[in-house]
Amino acid sequence: MSREWARPIPGADGVSSTYWEAGARGELLFQQCPACGNRQLYPRALCTACGETPEWVQASGRGTVHTFTIIRQNYAKPFRDELPYVVAIVELEEGPRLMSNVTGVPADEVSIGLPVEVYFEVAAEGIGVPFFRPI
Ligand SMILES: [Zn+2]
């Protein structure tokens, strides 16, 4: 971690705390249903397909940019100091998608299908937030 966390801190609850704690260890988790096989993110108490209790699976951390936008205006700290930045929906190679930032590349060079890998910044004790950078 190279800088102090200045963004809002995600609020972990009984369902998501496992996810955030894994992130603090550098592991990206998604949920998979033992009954029907449905895979999902963000974390939920129940499978969105059948209502069973999902299990946690560790993702490889690799995926591709499914879609994205470039934020060029944001007057709120600390985001205004990061402009322009990329907000993307990343599709993990296991299937689930999550919203994150793509960093480590000029915003104008991000494209749909860009291969990326996860890294984490620790926002607080037991809260690791995933970011992605090109492979
Ligand atoms: Zn299910």
Residue-wise pLDDT for 79-108, tens only, equals 999 999 999 999 999 999 999 999 999 999
pLDDT-based confidence at 3, cuts 50/70/90?
low
Amino acid 127: pLDDT: 97
Question: Tokens in use for 91?
Answer: 């599709």
b/e sequence 50-78, b meaning 16+ C-beta within 10 Å: eeeebeeeebebbbbbbebeebeeeeeee
Residues within 5 A (CB) of ion ligand 1: 33, 35-36, 38, 47, 49-50, 52
CA 124, 125, 128 angle in degrees (round to 5)? 65
This prediction's pTM: 0.93
Q: How far is the CA of 77 from the centre of ligand 1 (A)?
A: 40
- Residue 13: is it exposed, middle or buried by C-beta count within 10 angstroms (0-12/13-18/19+)? exposed
Ligand 1 centroid distance, CA of 50 (Å): 4
H or E segment and range at residue 109: none
Q: What is the dihedral of CA 50, 53, 56, 60, to 10 degrees?
A: 0
Q: pLDDT confidence of 16, banded at 50, 70, 90?
A: very high
- How many angstroms separate the alpha carbon of residue 24 from the centre of ligand 1? 27
What sign for the dihedral angle of Cα 84, 88, 93, 98?
A: positive
- Mean pLDDT computed over every residue of the chain: 96
